[in-house]
Structure 1
Amino acid sequence: MRRNLLLLGVCLMTVCCYAQDKAGREYIDVNAGWNFRFAYDVRRNAPEEKVSLPHTWNASDPFKGSIDYRRTMGVYSRGITTDPSWKNKRVFLYFEGANSVADVLVNNTFVTQHKGGYTAFCAEITPYLKPGGENKLLVQVSNAARMDVLPLAGDFNIYGGLHRQVWLIVANENCITPLDYASPGVYISQDEVSSSKARISVATKLSLTGKGTGISLRTIVRDARQKEVMTAQSTVDPRDTLVTQHLTITRPHLWEGKKDPYLYEVAVQLLQDDNVIDEVKQPLGLRYFKVDADSGFVLNGRYMDLYGFGYHEDVEGSGSALSREDLESDMALVLESGATAMRLTHYPHASYFYDLADKNGIVLWTEIPLVGPGGYTGTGYANDPSLQQQARQQLVEMIRQYYNHPSIFFWGLFNELKLDYDNPLPFLSRLNELAKKEDPSRITTCATFLDTDTFNHVSDVIAWNKYYGWYGGQFSDIGAWADDMHDKFPRKPIGVSEYGAGANIDHHIEQLKAPIPDGDFHAEEWQTAFHEAHWEEFGRRRFIWSKFIWALRDFGSSIREEGGFQGINDKGLVTYDRRVKKDAFYFYKANWNTTPMLYLTEKRNNDRSKSKTDIKAYTNLPAAALFVNGKPAGEAKKDALGRLLWKDITLKPGNNLLVVKATYAGMTLSDSCRWNLKSGEISFMK
């Protein structure tokens, strides 16, 4: 039922946002019919590939055992036929993302260049179009490494191409501008929110190039049933480029995260002579929040435990060119796990995922790609004015484009910068000031891995990437570390921005033994034990305001050759192809999701050498019974971490059928697997 609701919301949003608008604005899908070639092939009749967007040329080459995947330039081209109805209209070309530098030409004339692969950009192409005929659109895209384009470093692949969707926007001469950093042109600020009253201000940026008389702006707030709640209307002077309106909603229905992700709709209409000539609709989720150094994250006056995943846009066979179905599939995984929050790493993600988070009540941390090398070589920052300007540009683009999404609570400034090159601190302080100027209402944060106070004063809150029990140390060290940080910095809210361990679902052990992180063998059981121990430590420390697992899914990283994989970071709780959820996924599902579940662990660890062994299951039910080869083996009660454990269970030589069953509220759940005890290799568990 939850899945159906998710998809229903998706369909409604798609119709709303991308059908022709009766108000005069039209969105035209131009994602099909592109020709693609690499720029180095300049022959007159160079062969071209027919592609549809989103597209990347790196879908497979980073996984062929070489770190030197294609960081090059590609050329996309297609025709656009102007429609007679576009006469006296304005035409804009809107790119949701081109990785990493894009040059746009219309009819062989340069229009614009955009740097940065993860934010949108928009250009007006009206003057470049030939009326009543075919027009040539050409986009050259480069994903080559550059010192003036973020990111400079990172443990993930930079997939090249038009890896997000492209649209034509046809609007009237007087319109709400799409040219303000490719934002909606409408900014909804929540000036004061409580359970009794919500005061909002709606700032709208206009571009008035046509007839300038009789213009007004109307803002309508509608509830989830499309009933008008509040309206404001203002006369517009032809010279106005910004109009701000103030509205008050009494007894508002608050956005309560997953519990109740209630959304209003704000429709901003530009009128001329009382006729609507343009309209932009945006979501509104009313909420107030804070992070306390002792009590963690507080939403609408109540504590909310923020836990979830870090998440890369990376799909087997597609790279970062995710379809809407891919994004829906990933959100379905998030909802199944029971997560309350997501960290969208290490760049702004496709706008559709923010829509899904709004509708499903997932709290988001989203960040710019100011990414350091972490434990690798190189730098993520250089004291270069062109790079600094690029970082400022990407920050402003991110904030303005996603400003109205109620799911966003945290703006991330950087990840894992180091101090062995130019000192980034002075610039980071200015970057934080810029973020607070653009959006005073949200919380700034950063992710560091340095156990010092180096970056503690840059942003409002801070979080650490910690891997105790994977990159050295013991699992339990995470608790001692958190206590130490809290004691040293009692007024600074601290979180955990990453924690995780690798796992190959084909690698198994019967007795725990620490793997070598960059070695060939990554036992799934070690990952499971890592997460059980970490979650137990986190449960004792409410002051940790965030807990983000690294990562939701395995993802591509060409520099890695480990765990039996070429070019894969295997710390995800779901395999790269999305086909298998690892045991650790079900551990969190038992702890986070209230829908009754029962899962028998180590199904894939089915070749056994010990005739006496422990058997474990995960559940959110009180108890379950175990049956071995059809015979009862006793009932186990769930512990505080959702675990059921049966000790010293005897297996017979050869095939063994294990079944767990639980009955609750008239419902019976079961799970099973088969283990094979190798003949002639029987030993006893020590």
Structure 2
Amino acid sequence: MIAVKVDNSRQPSSRWYTGSGIYRHTWLVAVSPTHVAHWGTFVTTPRVSKDAATVEVKTRVRNEETAPAACTLVSALVDRDGKVVQTAEASQQIGAGDEYEFTQQIAVEKPSLWNPGDPYLYTLRSTVRIGQRVADECETPFGIREAVFDANRGFLLNGEHLKLNGVCLHHDAGSMGAAVPERVWERRMEVLKGMGCNAIRTSHNPPAPEFLDLCDRMGFCVMNEAFDEWKAGKGQVRGNGYSLYYDDWHERDVTDFVRRDRNHPSVVLWSCGNEISDQLTPRGVELLRDLLAIFHREDPTRMVTAACDQIAAEPRSAPVEFLSLLDVVGYNYADRWRERRELYYSLDKQAHPGWRMIGTESSGMGGPRGDYRGLVPPVPGQAATVVAVAGPPPPMGGRGFGRGFRGLDTEQLWKFVSIHDYVAGDFMWTGIDYLGESGWPNHGATAGCIDTCGFPKDGYYFYQSQWTEKPMLHLFPHWNWKGREGQFLPVACYTNCDSVELFLNGKSVGAKGYVFPRYGMQGRYGQYAPGANASIRTTSDLHLAWDVPYEPGTLRAVGTKGGQPVVTVEITTTGDPAAIGLSVDRETIRAGRRDVAQITAKVLDAQGRMHPDADHEIAFEIQGEGRLIGVDNGDPSDQEDYKGKQRKCFHGMCLAVVQSTATAGAIRVTATAPGLKPATLTVRTTS
């Protein structure tokens, strides 16, 4: 019998929700006495081009027999279709109780290169033979790719410049807590992909290995982060954090961390810490040197950064000594320091032209989804139409046009990052809301552009407008403002179109467009793009806005490119709530207790339109081969049980997560609420 016990009584131990106990997959692996060592393969691609690549494989084989063993290692490269591309074979006598590291090089002609647009994966099949007997066999997925950080060109993947459009993520998932089924993360990553995100920072601890498997398969570049503390603790956790264990455990933890994750093609950069309290001290410099040596020993192919929040501290000698040791200098909130609010990275680029730079953490467009209290206060004597949230009323969209959660100008920062190649990319805080790091009555932070249900907020579409090319237009807020008739209300949109014309009940409110990059940046002074209509280029902001006198009806926005309409969006004043609408992320899931269906419930009017302020409590009944394992609505102040059978809607929506049983069959989900027509859907489960 193997017993695993957890003592998590020293609290608080983290600023965010960590979970407790066994909340990730745990495996008991049985191997023969002669076997590939745990995390014993290391696959690198020292030479990469479209025509040819060299794959180098280091494999540690252990012989735990009482006698020497004559071992043969066969390393086979297998492509996506299961075809063996190339093999290498080597033999070695390994003494009793010894370990030997094989080094093999394998040439691949016309390789398929891993990249976010086509995350092609090969498999290394390692077979250990003693004579004709197979003693051990294991498989290691990997990708052929070259990842380089350059002081002037930023990030290069396979020789081509790639701006890292990144988000920071904690490891929880709302109602799932820390025990997150893979499909929950897969759906969240699908939403991030739709935004144009191509990079993730795993803040501030090693992620589950299955998370990195998803990043490999779905095409995300990863900044893989180890620590939130070194020797100095952080005040929020009152000395109960990792600093208690740093001296005894940091070398083993970093070694295991790197060996576990270094074969993932998605991992392009290691981070040795987040906002480390030691970063301005002489001790911190020595600790950093030690950590860098461990990272480079275990993986000489990747660079190491740290997420630093004391970039502009005085005297300058303290941060400069620390930062200059890093392979890539990581900036947390590059725009929050004095003149850096306008100059960003340029001061350090002039002073330290050899530094490689990346935005490890920057303010994102967060706030509670659908909360517009700062835009339209309630009519005197009329109840507010939104659930109360701790703190002062936020501006429009939770944070206002282009304003991040620390009041920093998100739009302006992105302009700088996008046109300066030497900044490798930027990771906004955060991609998705998370549990913890908030004050009562909130139990989670709303810094994300996606809520804990996986529902996009308005800020999501700002990034989509800058990070994607398919014509898009997002119009907000909703158009249910009873009691505000005749008052001017701001209406905004994020878009990547040349111009947008707004109509209210069929009458034009005006056409507008923004200019970025500004004319002249890419040509001669004052040059306008061929055929551009300068009269509708109304702003250099990265959003468009109108003041519209409110009247019930329909707002319609038409986006054009090259003078032709390419996308139309409508927002209509809804009727009273009348029914529940259900949708599911997949109609068929796997049986076996590990797969889940994620069901979105919406409150609809009689015409099937979602009511933007409905807060009905929806009860879920599950019949058949499934069980309800979580309910959520994205409201950080809602005190209802995540494991209950009902949930209030937050601005018209909530989520239910249903897990399959061991038996294949059907799951019938019924949603009811007083005064609303119920809804039912069926999910199939297959073996």
TM over 0.5: yes
With over 3 angstroms needed to count, the CA separation of the structure-2 counterparts of 1:644 and 1:458, relative to structure 1, is closer
Where structure 1 has 5 or more consecutive residues not aligned to the other structure, the ranges are 1-105, 107-136, 147-151, 677-686
Structure 2 equivalent of residue 132 of structure 1: none
Counterpart selection for 1:627 from 503, 524, 537: 503
Q: Provide the rounded CA distance (Å) in 2 between the counterparts of 1:423 and 1:212.
A: 46
Counterpart selection for 2:443 from 564, 567, 575: 567
Question: Cα deviation per residue 1:281-320 (whole Å; 9 max; x = unaligned)?
Answer: 1122122232122221112222110121000111122221
Structure 2 equivalent of residue 80 of structure 1: none
- The answer to whether the 8 Å contact 2:163/2:418 transfers is no
Alignment of 1:356-375 (within 5 A): 356-371=214-229
Once the two structures are TM-superposed, the CA of residue 255 in structure 1 deviates from its matched residue by 2.8
Once the two structures are TM-superposed, the CA of residue 246 in structure 1 deviates from its matched residue by 1.9
Alignment of 1:571-650 (within 5 A): 571-578=447-454, 580-603=455-478, 606=481, 611-637=487-513, 639-640=515-516, 645=544, 647-650=546-549
Once the two structures are TM-superposed, the CA of residue 414 in structure 1 deviates from its matched residue by 0.8
Structure 1 residue 192 and structure 2 residue 47: aligned?
Answer: yes
Alignment of 1:316-465 (within 5 A): 316-371=174-229, 387-419=246-278, 423-450=283-310, 451=312, 452-465=319-332
Once the two structures are TM-superposed, the CA of residue 519 in structure 1 deviates from its matched residue by 3.4
Counterpart selection for 1:658 from 551, 555, 576: 555
Alignment of 1:12-23 (within 5 A): none
Structure 2 equivalent of residue 245 of structure 1: 103
Question: Cα deviation per residue 1:189-211 (whole Å; 9 max; x = unaligned)?
Answer: 33333344423321222232357
Counterpart selection for 2:413 from 534, 558, 561: 534
Report which stretch shifted further, 635-644 or 244-253. 635-644
Question: Cα deviation per residue 1:127-161 (whole Å; 9 max; x = unaligned)?
Answer: xxxxxxxxxx4220123449xxxxx9653123111
Where structure 2 has 5 or more consecutive residues not aligned to the other structure, the ranges are 313-318, 378-388, 404-409, 517-539, 575-687
Once the two structures are TM-superposed, the CA of residue 430 in structure 1 deviates from its matched residue by 0.8
Structure 1 residue 294 and structure 2 residue 152: aligned?
Answer: yes
- The answer to whether the 8 Å contact 2:335/2:344 transfers is no
Q: Provide the rounded CA distance (Å) in 2 between the counterparts of 1:216 and 1:303.
A: 41
Q: Provide the rounded CA distance (Å) in 1 between the counterparts of 2:321 and 2:14.
A: 20
Alignment of 1:51-70 (within 5 A): none
Q: Provide the rounded CA distance (Å) in 1 between the counterparts of 2:391 and 2:351.
A: 36
Alignment of 1:137-152 (within 5 A): 137-145=2-10
Q: Match of 1:433, SS? A: helix
Q: Provide the rounded CA distance (Å) in 1 between the counterparts of 2:262 and 2:218.
A: 18
- The answer to whether the 8 Å contact 2:335/2:342 transfers is no
Counterpart selection for 1:670 from 543, 547, 568: 568
- The answer to whether the 8 Å contact 1:312/1:345 transfers is yes
With over 3 angstroms needed to count, the CA separation of the structure-2 counterparts of 1:281 and 1:568, relative to structure 1, is same
Q: Provide the rounded CA distance (Å) in 1 between the counterparts of 2:288 and 2:13.
A: 17
With over 3 angstroms needed to count, the CA separation of the structure-2 counterparts of 1:244 and 1:230, relative to structure 1, is same
Q: Match of 2:287, SS? A: helix
Once the two structures are TM-superposed, the CA of residue 638 in structure 1 deviates from its matched residue by 5.5
Question: Cα deviation per residue 1:446-495 (whole Å; 9 max; x = unaligned)?
Answer: 011002325212320111211757xx97xx95441322222222211122
With over 3 angstroms needed to count, the CA separation of the structure-2 counterparts of 1:520 and 1:614, relative to structure 1, is closer
With over 3 angstroms needed to count, the CA separation of the structure-2 counterparts of 1:373 and 1:575, relative to structure 1, is farther
With over 3 angstroms needed to count, the CA separation of the structure-2 counterparts of 1:606 and 1:236, relative to structure 1, is farther
Q: Provide the rounded CA distance (Å) in 2 between the counterparts of 1:421 and 1:604.
A: 54
Once the two structures are TM-superposed, the CA of residue 261 in structure 1 deviates from its matched residue by 1.9
- The answer to whether the 8 Å contact 1:370/1:391 transfers is no
- The answer to whether the 8 Å contact 2:164/2:424 transfers is yes
Structure 1 equivalent of residue 602 of structure 2: none
**Structure 2 length as normaliser, TM-score?**
0.68
- The answer to whether the 8 Å contact 1:620/1:638 transfers is no
Question: Cα deviation per residue 1:104-138 (whole Å; 9 max; x = unaligned)?
Answer: xx2xxxxxxxxxxxxxxxxxxxxxxxxxxxxxx42
**Structure 1 length as normaliser, TM-score?**
0.68
**What's the % identity of the aligned pairs?**
22
Structure 1 residue 504 and structure 2 residue 368: aligned?
Answer: yes
Once the two structures are TM-superposed, the CA of residue 426 in structure 1 deviates from its matched residue by 0.9
Q: Match of 2:327, SS? A: coil
Structure 1 equivalent of residue 117 of structure 2: 259
AA in 1 matched with 2:57: V
Structure 2 equivalent of residue 177 of structure 1: 37
Once the two structures are TM-superposed, the CA of residue 407 in structure 1 deviates from its matched residue by 0.8
Once the two structures are TM-superposed, the CA of residue 658 in structure 1 deviates from its matched residue by 1.1
Q: Match of 2:324, SS? A: coil
Q: Provide the rounded CA distance (Å) in 2 between the counterparts of 1:661 and 1:201.
A: 53
Once the two structures are TM-superposed, the CA of residue 259 in structure 1 deviates from its matched residue by 2.6
Structure 1 equivalent of residue 391 of structure 2: 519
Structure 1 residue 167 and structure 2 residue 27: aligned?
Answer: yes
AA in 2 matched with 1:526: R
- The answer to whether the 8 Å contact 2:18/2:172 transfers is no
With over 3 angstroms needed to count, the CA separation of the structure-2 counterparts of 1:351 and 1:305, relative to structure 1, is same
With over 3 angstroms needed to count, the CA separation of the structure-2 counterparts of 1:225 and 1:201, relative to structure 1, is same
- The answer to whether the 8 Å contact 1:370/1:380 transfers is no
With over 3 angstroms needed to count, the CA separation of the structure-2 counterparts of 1:646 and 1:200, relative to structure 1, is closer
Matched residues, number: 516
Once the two structures are TM-superposed, the CA of residue 408 in structure 1 deviates from its matched residue by 0.6
Q: Provide the rounded CA distance (Å) in 1 between the counterparts of 2:305 and 2:357.
A: 10
With over 3 angstroms needed to count, the CA separation of the structure-2 counterparts of 1:527 and 1:344, relative to structure 1, is farther
Q: Match of 2:443, SS? A: strand
Q: Provide the rounded CA distance (Å) in 1 between the counterparts of 2:354 and 2:296.
A: 20
Q: Provide the rounded CA distance (Å) in 2 between the counterparts of 1:609 and 1:426.
A: 65
Structure 1 residue 280 and structure 2 residue 138: aligned?
Answer: yes
- The answer to whether the 8 Å contact 2:51/2:111 transfers is no
Q: Match of 1:457, SS? A: helix
Report which stretch shifted further, 353-362 or 273-282. 273-282
Structure 1 residue 548 and structure 2 residue 427: aligned?
Answer: yes
Q: Provide the rounded CA distance (Å) in 2 between the counterparts of 1:217 and 1:203.
A: 11
Q: Provide the rounded CA distance (Å) in 2 between the counterparts of 1:491 and 1:668.
A: 44
Q: Provide the rounded CA distance (Å) in 1 between the counterparts of 2:127 and 2:42.
A: 14
AA in 2 matched with 1:503: G
Q: Match of 2:277, SS? A: coil
Q: Match of 1:428, SS? A: helix
Q: Provide the rounded CA distance (Å) in 2 between the counterparts of 1:256 and 1:638.
A: 35
- The answer to whether the 8 Å contact 2:50/2:113 transfers is no
AA in 2 matched with 1:444: V
Once the two structures are TM-superposed, the CA of residue 396 in structure 1 deviates from its matched residue by 0.8
Question: Cα deviation per residue 1:158-183 (whole Å; 9 max; x = unaligned)?
Answer: 311101011232333322233xxxx2
Q: Provide the rounded CA distance (Å) in 2 between the counterparts of 1:278 and 1:675.
A: 65
Q: Provide the rounded CA distance (Å) in 1 between the counterparts of 2:567 and 2:269.
A: 39
Q: Provide the rounded CA distance (Å) in 2 between the counterparts of 1:529 and 1:604.
A: 21
- The answer to whether the 8 Å contact 1:528/1:583 transfers is no
AA in 1 matched with 2:464: K
Structure 2 equivalent of residue 71 of structure 1: none
Structure 2 equivalent of residue 219 of structure 1: 75
With over 3 angstroms needed to count, the CA separation of the structure-2 counterparts of 1:356 and 1:169, relative to structure 1, is same
Structure 2 equivalent of residue 87 of structure 1: none
Q: Provide the rounded CA distance (Å) in 2 between the counterparts of 1:200 and 1:520.
A: 56
